[in-house]
Amino acid sequence: MARGSLSMTRLLALIALFFCLRAAAMSPAFLDQTMMAVVRDRLASGQAAAQTQQAWQVLKRQADKDLAQPLMSVTEKGLMPPGGSRHDYLSLSAYWWPDPQHPDDRWIRRDGEINPASKNNQSDGVRLAAFTSRVQVLTLAWYFSGEPKYADKAIALLRHWFLDPPSKMNPNLNFAQGVPGVAAGRSSGILDGRYFATRVVDSLILLRAASGWRKEDEQGMQSWMQEYLTWLENSKAGKREARAANNHGNWYSVQLAGIAWYLQKTPLITQQVRATRARMQQQISADGSQPLELARTRSFHYSYFNLQALVALAVLAERSGAGDLWRSDAKDPSGTKKVGILTALDFMAPWTDSTRPWPYQSRDRISERLIPLLSQADNSLHEPRYQQFVRRATFHAPDKTQRGALIEAQRETWLLSLPGIR
């Protein structure tokens, strides 16, 4: 009798696991689809908050513009990658410049100073960001409106970049963030691929419900993502990036965990959550500051940027059952109190007020970029811990160079996370 009971228990556990994995396959990694469905219903019934309606109208206008834009491919760049194939991704490191004293054969690093040569169509860095943004915007426009034309264009973009033989990208970043005369590609260039695990993975999962998504599209994307994941885990560049102590290490974990979610490799998610929890203890001080990021010339940006990766990992950790990265743990064996993401968010939250001086070196600061992170924390914790900061955000852009970042922050706050819904 006991044996029969045990077998039944195991059977029920396996059935539960099957349905969990099936649900996981249909749910985005980083977006909260349950919340998005509520937003969609409110928009359709005219009951959405004014901020949500505004964010939706801005998104729809951008999606309508993106409908008219051409497809995009890594094969369009002007420079030839060192490997001799235009199908290889190629980008140049933004902070490296020709040495004025040796302009022909030596480059030097100037932290925070962006070399315009890294931001044009000769390489793929700008193209990748634009491509993934269009895919995400079009997918969201389809989700909230139900109009097939948006999904059809997003699918066409994905096929052209990843699947069509004449235009597809090889699944590696061997030549990312290269420096002429120094390195053809660097491990830090893996950071470029973060959008594959965030914008692209979530779009792929949502588009499974689109009428234009085909079985062969799914099979092709599964194959591409598996090859890219293998490269991330086994290449020298990937292994080195996994050891990065600063934001690079966290964004590496975001990529592995996000793609693992798409491929239903749950143990890999758990592995990356554990690695991140350990890394956080060295990244975040007891007061919540992030010394490695504060040492940069763009200290506010990188303090936010590291938290963006950590919040994404916390959301996926919770969704996959891999643990809680939000809260600090009990004391470790040495008696030292551990830190959680909330420790760092508590430190940063007061600087969502752009009139409050940032006391560290910083070339740029967009205070409202923190707002969606605070909103996501509140929704995950089911408490209004940061609502006072979220509610007073205006997302006003007096500087045109900040407009894109603020539009994205407003969208993530009022269309994708919806403050106070829980």
Q: What is the pLDDT of residues 125-157, one digit of tens each?
A: 999 999 999 999 999 999 999 999 999 999 999
Average pLDDT over residues 20-31: 70
The pLDDT score that the predictor gives to residue 19 is 43
User: What pLDDT digit, counting tens, does each position of 299-344 carry?
Assistant: 999 999 999 999 999 999 999 999 999 998 755 555 566 899 999 9
For residue 7, pLDDT beyond 80: no
**Is residue 290 pLDDT above 90, yes or no?**
yes
Instruction: Kindly state the tokens that stand for 111.
Output: 């932290």
Q: Can you give the pLDDT at residue 16?
A: 47
92 forms beta bridges with 178
Angle between helices 299-320 and 266-283 (to 10 degrees): 140
Q: Identify the pLDDT of residue 397.
A: 74
Asked whether residue 15 carries a pLDDT value surpassing 60, the answer given is: no
The percent of the chain in helix, strand and coil, each rounded to the nearest 5, is 60, 5, 35
Predicted TM-score (pTM) of the model is 0.92
Determine the Cα–Cα distance for residues 67 and 63; give it in Å rounded to an integer.
Answer: 6
Backbone angles phi, psi at 362, to 5 degrees: -160, 130
Alpha carbons 45 and 60: distance in angstroms, whole number: 17
- Cα separation, 166 vs 173, whole angstroms: 19
